[in-house]
Amino acid sequence: MAKTLKKWQGWVLFLGSMAVVFVLGLLVSSLMERRAEVASVFNNKRTVFEDSIVAQNEKFKTDYPREYETWAKTEDTSFESKYNGSEEVDVLEQRPEMVVLWAGYAFSRHYNTPRGHKHALEDMRKILRTGNPGIDGDGDMQPATCWTCKGPDVPRMMRELSDKKSVFDPANFYAKKWSELGAEEMNAIGCSDCHDATTMDLRPARPALYEAFARRGLDVKKQTHQEMRSLVCAQCHVEYYFIKPDDPNNPGKANYLVFPHDKGLTCEAAEEYYDSIGFYDYIHAVSKTPILKAQHPGYEISQHGIHAQRGVSCADCHMPYKQEGGVKYSDHQIMSPLAKIDRTCQTCHRQDAETLRQNVYDRQDKCTEIRNRAEKELARAHFETKFIIDKGATEAELKPIQALLRKSQWRWDYSIASHGATFHAPQEVIRLLAASIDYAKESRILIARTAAKYGHTGEIPVPDYSTKVKAQQAIGLDMQKLNEKKQKFLDEIVPKWIDEAKKNGKLIES
């Protein structure tokens, strides 16, 4: 009996070993096949680029079909979300107070939610914030610097226009007018914005990022690969300003692009930097306040959130990995992580998709509730300031009020200009918006006291700005004239730019 049992055990051990060997053989074969597939992608390139900057994204399609095909899907605007979907939404229509807050600045004319990267150039050309070159002799409203983050033609032109061809010097690019480069800026945000075309290594293509790091004693080139997966985004999704043409401290650097990171990456650090150089973006058309306009400090705000603090990169959530055979690659359809929860949130979190989505919405709802209050307080404060100006308030009386308005609006704008801030760092957004409300209320108290000095007590009358149309009328915009000029520009000039680019090989017809 014992011999029979031992014989049976031996057969089990033998057959089990054979099964393990067979499975291991399959695994090794699969791994070898996948490694060969991966190697074939990188060793059998049909196109070898000698230039590190290749502006036409189509030239990468043959060797990187998966990345190209997913990048092309950034044209899709069908994703809907409670906040920040892919579709284009007229924000001023939804939030007419913002028209008032930006009175005196081109954002009060036109401000839509952003679409995918493939729409970047199209959307920039059509907005009412860019110039009407050659239309009724108006010339340009904006410098060429405004093209900076719109596509890989930018680093190409920065190099071509440089006085020192061996040095990446963008000064001549920044000094030009926006329309002067209209026929050059043709390829939407793509491959060479983030990759060195010769090696495909991650590499930010905007000099402002390198310059900002250097001023803080850091070197972009020495950052880790994981950090670089955020820095290629940070080169554009960041707060910045243009050096003013009449700045005596920066001769020859008109409209030069600078990131105000010298004192740190907080809202207050940027404000301290701007205050130290006496900078403002515009004088408010209603309250006459020198205003700081936040751009889109997505990188800075994200650094205050739990994901960045735990080492999660921008690409981890906005460009999740995909697997096809032996090839693992980043999905280049850059969009909200809520569109692909199974490959974004659920790679770390074990809750079901609907729970995770609702968690995000809850945070966004809370931030939006406080944002609504801040915008109401600020809009009234600007008009109330105009009221006391009209009553004869002195510069000495206005100065502390305008200082509070500047502080309040900076914190509000810094919070809302970064579209993903309410998810990236909701606690930081709530802190800033709460401070914005406090400063706005303080200003309104001073305004009421000043109004009383000039014989007015009670609520200060303000115009009706309850809709976008009424708000734009209240701040003195002639929207019919602006729209007519813009349409003429789109009909007459943009087609010429596109035709010229095709003729010169700068744009590949799809």
136 lies in some domain: yes
152 lies in some domain: yes
What is the domain extent for residue 123?
51-80+106-280+478-510
What CATH number does residue 237 fall under?
1.10.1130.10
Element (H or E) spanning 126, and its range?
helix 120-126
Work out the pLDDT band at 442, boundaries 50, 70, 90: very high
506 lies in some domain: yes
d(CA 300, CA 265) in angstroms, rounded, equals 5
What's the whole-model pTM score? 0.90
410 lies in some domain: no
d(CA 267, CA 508) in angstroms, rounded, equals 41
Question: In the predicted model, what is the mean pLDDT of residues 11-22?
Answer: 70
Find out whether 454 and 331 touch, Cβ atoms under 8 Å. Answer: no
pLDDT digits (tens, 9 = 90+) for 217-257: 999 999 999 999 999 999 999 999 999 988 888 988 999 99
159 lies in some domain: yes
d(CA 486, CA 290) in angstroms, rounded, equals 28
d(CA 50, CA 445) in angstroms, rounded, equals 64
What is the number of domains present in the chain?
1
Find out whether 412 and 403 touch, Cβ atoms under 8 Å. Answer: no
Q: Report pLDDT for 246.
A: 87
Q: Report pLDDT for 444.
A: 98
The DSSP line for 144-183 is GGGGTTS-THHHHHHHHT-SSTTS---HHHHHSBGGGGTT
Work out the pLDDT band at 8, boundaries 50, 70, 90: low
The DSSP line for 261-314 is -TT-SSHHHHHHHHHHTT--SEE-TTT--EE------HHHHHTTSHHHHTT--H
133 lies in some domain: yes
14 lies in some domain: no
Q: Report pLDDT for 34.
A: 45
407 lies in some domain: no
d(CA 171, CA 300) in angstroms, rounded, equals 25
- Does the pLDDT of residue 42 top 60, yes or no? no
**Two structure tokens written together for 241:** 């300003």
